[in-house]
Amino acid sequence: MKLRLLAGASLGIVTGLAGLFAQSSAPVPQNPAAAYPDDRTGIIYTEVGQGSGSIVSHPRIVLSCAHVAFDDYLNSSASGWTNLNGFKLAWNGDAEPSHESFLPLRGYTRFARYAESALNPKKANQAFAEDFVAHFSYFNLTDTAPATFWRDGVAALRSSAPKRITGYPGALYREGDPLKYRLHRTPDFTNRLFVEQDRYLGATGPSTGGGNSGGPIWVFDSKDGQWKFAGVLVSGLEVSQGDPANEIGVVGVNGPAWSLVTAAIKASGGAPAPTALTFTTTTVLPAGIPDANRTGLRIPIDVVGAGKRLATLRLTLSTRHAYPNDLEITLRSPSRRNLVITKRPKLDELFLYEREIVGFAGEKPNGRWTLIVRDLAGGDVGAVTEASLQVFVQ
């Protein structure tokens, strides 16, 4: 996702030659043991795009910016939040990581103020000031310690201490470029960021380029010799992309933001670890998929005795078809909510092994789940050879 631009407003006056000539971000060296704090940064995928996030304060918490998980094209603060969010920590490869390797972010702290501001074009700065989100999981997302942080990130960002931004500015590169999914960081810079509104601060000089929304900004603490999390990137300009200057806009994390993080930590541990139960279909497999038929093959999976609240699902599904691009696979819950698992899949997507499905979190798990496999074009036939659900309940 390209970073949102702040139209018609300055991001502050910069003092110091080091700040004025700070460069754009560049890929960090590829090695098995990435250094702290780079190795606390990861990719976030949502239904509306890609961004960056970091594991801070707790191994189940990923901090990012709200607009990565908010689809403002829906024009509704109630329905604009995305559900299918995943996280890949410390990826630094030459190609896109596999979807199966992303860990689901099972929830995040939602709040109306960002949505209300984001949908009002007259409140651009206010939207940026509220553009912060704390994702959480019911499972640890890393075996290493989370990043340390500044209690008052705004004050740290306004200081002359060294700073850097990490993340994944994929919009700088064309599809297929091996640098598109490499971890990046800026050179260290010492700009004192200026307050635009509330927690929204900016500076001219450093930049990361498009795609790095939610990338963490770190400030060095000379007292204990550590880089500490101070905020997230929410806007920016980039000379290499045709903008007149390099600029950054960030949300500094201080008391009000940390209250959201505290709520997310409580939510991540406020329930017992989900229990996994596996259910298979009574349909005799393999079962043929009707050719060019929108009704499709319907495979029931009955879930019983699975408690009152669903945390998430894992789907195992094997399908064979000469032209996978003909297919659409949908999962229907007992409440008759439909979620398209894949449409016009690639060949490797015909074989899903314990694929995380997070869009039904919070629903009642018991009842009939239905896999609907449609062949949308004529001329070829296929079949489903395996189907089961692993249900995680609380």
Secondary structure (H, E, C), 373-389: EEECCCCCCEEEEEEEE
7 located within any domain? no
The pLDDT > 90 percentage for the chain reads: 46
pLDDT at 383: 92
Select from 243, 269, 295 the last residue of a domain.
Answer: 269
385 located within any domain? yes
pLDDT at 321: 85
Q: Are 38 and 183 in contact (CB under 8 A)?
A: yes
The CATH number covering residue 229 comes to: 2.40.10.120
pLDDT at 209: 84
Claim to verify: residue 251 and residue 282 sit in the same structural domain: no
More confident residue, 7 or 227: 227
Encoding tokens for residue 346? 């690639």
182 located within any domain? yes
260 located within any domain? yes
166 located within any domain? yes
128 located within any domain? yes
Claim to verify: residue 146 and residue 207 sit in the same structural domain: yes
pLDDT at 359: 75
Select from 224, 240, 269 the last residue of a domain.
Answer: 269
pLDDT at 83 over 80: no
More confident residue, 109 or 348: 109
The per-residue pLDDT for range 41-56, each reduced to its tens digit, is 999 988 778 899 999 9
* CB proximity list for 201: less than 8 A, separation 6 or greater: 12, 154, 157, 158, 193, 194, 195, 231, 249, 250, 251, 252
The pLDDT > 70 percentage for the chain reads: 87
For range 24-50, the mean pLDDT: 85
Average pLDDT, the chain: 84
Claim to verify: residue 283 and residue 231 sit in the same structural domain: no
Claim to verify: residue 344 and residue 292 sit in the same structural domain: yes
pLDDT at 73 over 60: no
CA angle 189, 195, 198 (to 5 degrees): 135
Q: Point out the least confidently predicted range of 79-83, 322-326, 383-387.
A: 79-83
Cα 360 → chain centroid: 17
pLDDT at 273: 56
CA distance 311 to 332: 16
Claim to verify: residue 262 and residue 389 sit in the same structural domain: no
Claim to verify: residue 369 and residue 355 sit in the same structural domain: yes
Q: Point out the least confidently predicted range of 178-187, 197-206, 267-276, 377-386.
A: 267-276
pLDDT at 15: 30
Please give the tally of structural domains in the chain. Answer: 2
pLDDT at 272 over 70: no
The per-residue pLDDT for range 307-365, each reduced to its tens digit, is 888 877 888 888 888 887 788 999 999 999 998 888 887 766 678 877 777 678 778 89
259 located within any domain? yes
Claim to verify: residue 84 and residue 143 sit in the same structural domain: yes
Claim to verify: residue 262 and residue 157 sit in the same structural domain: yes
Other beta carbons within 10 Å of 196: 21
pLDDT at 17 over 50: no
Could you list the residue range(s) of the whole structural domain that residue 286 is in? 275-393
For range 259-269, the mean pLDDT: 87
354 located within any domain? yes
Claim to verify: residue 101 and residue 71 sit in the same structural domain: yes
User: For 140-163, b where at least 16 C-beta lie within 10 A, e where not — what string?
Assistant: ebbeeebbbbbeebbebbbbebbb
The per-residue pLDDT for range 139-173, each reduced to its tens digit, is 889 888 899 999 999 999 999 999 999 999 998 89
pTM assigned to the model: 0.67
The band of 276, judged by pLDDT with boundaries at 50, 70 and 90, is confident
Claim to verify: residue 260 and residue 187 sit in the same structural domain: yes
DSSP sequence for 40-95: GEEEEEETTEEEEEEEBSSTTEEEE-GGGGB-GGG--TTT-B-S--EEEET---SS
The CATH number covering residue 358 comes to: 2.60.120.260
Claim to verify: residue 44 and residue 141 sit in the same structural domain: yes
Starting at the edge strand found earlier in the chain, the sheet holding 133-136 runs 103-104, 86-89, 41-46, 49-55, 61-64, 133-136, 107-108
The 3-state DSSP class for residue 20 equals: helix
Residue whose tokens read 């939610």: 214
Select from 209, 237, 269 the last residue of a domain.
Answer: 269
Claim to verify: residue 290 and residue 342 sit in the same structural domain: yes
